[in-house]
Amino acid sequence: MSFLTDYRSPWMTDELDSLAELTRKFFAKESVPYFEKWAENQQVDRELWTKAGQAGLLCLSVPEEYGGGGGSFAHEAVVQYEQAFLGDSAFGNFVHSGIVAPYFTNYASEEQKQRWLPKLASGEFVGAIAMTEPGTGSDLQSIKTTAKRDGDEYVINGSKTFITNGSHADLIIVVCRTGEEGHAGISLVVVETEGLEGFSRGRVLNKIGMKGQDTRELFFQDVRVPAENILGEEGKGFIYLMQQLPQERLSIAVGAIAATEAAIQQTIDYTKQREAFGRPVFKFQNTRFELAECTTEAMAVRTFVDHCIQRHVAGELDPATASAVKYLATDKQVEIIDRCLQLFGGYGYMLEYPIARAYADARVQKIYGGTNEIMKELISRDL
């Protein structure tokens, strides 16, 4: 034990402690044994979604009247933390519950909430959000996918890439252009995929890490959806995206610090057991000093993440601070896991060791949700 593992976040409660224990047991049983299988299949088993729904681990911040847990972002953060700490980078609940569901909670009509949220909460539907395009990354104002009004329908044409839950998604929020160039012409249109003519899923993308996650390309060719599937108001999509991005970035930071702390603990355990030159690797001063520095830096990040969770639950997390915690937590995640891997020696490069998978999984954290270079730009605008 150490001051990092003994630490309890100030926003935790007895209820959240119980949720953490439930989540830990669920993922230890339903996720950890299947990492290799999912990596080979490039997706989790579909039944994992319904199992998570039955366990009450989906859409915890969705109001109870719509089938959710009736909690706050703190509940979502507990699930995200425990999943990431156990090394599960395959199950896309971070997107499903932490990103997609809040768009419906905040912007959907009453009819849409009743129609979609209960199925997301049960796992009957898997949610995804399609923002990124082959030629458009962080610059969401430049998207090309169009949704043109034709009577009582929208006709969608375009393509999206890097879509988490791309294989299983039954319900996709598609960021489309319904008007002129620039942010004022962007809207969010909800696509229900079952039997939908003109909708197709491209290849599962072969990533450096997160091998078990079904990240895919999506294609829309004259896809017709009812006009009532618009989410919120037409032309307000960019505003909605900007309002929700702070939570997405904070969620990434939660996963980052969880993976970082797990890597440190694995490395402490390994270096105390592994011997070199007749003594445990931990006995060398360089090892102890490296781990002392990593632990101290992780604690500093953890307290910043906790500060942001408290502010977000109180409705006070601003975009610049969310950008700052995302940038710092993911930068330190990549740096610290790299330092930990070094202490494993050659074994750290072997994929059967969790530290190697953590190293590969970490790198994308500095890219998605807005690159860390974009994060610094957003921070600087608030100075």
What positions carry a catalytic annotation?
A: 248
Report how far apart, in Å, the C-alpha atoms of 135 and of each of 86, 145, 221, 370 are: 34, 11, 18, 15
One-letter amino acid at 334 equals V
HSE of 186 in the Cβ direction (CA atoms, 13 Å)? 19
Instruction: Please tell me the distance from the alpha carbon of residue 199 to that of residue 225, in angstroms, as a whole number.
Output: 11
**Contact by Cβ (8 Å): 165, 96:** yes
* Closest CA relative to residue 258, chosen from 82, 8, 76, 92: 82
Q: Which two tokens stand for residue 42?
A: 């490039």
Give the number of other CB atoms < 10 A from CB of residue 140: 19
Bridge partners of 153? 150, 226
- Decide: helix, strand or coil at residue 345: helix
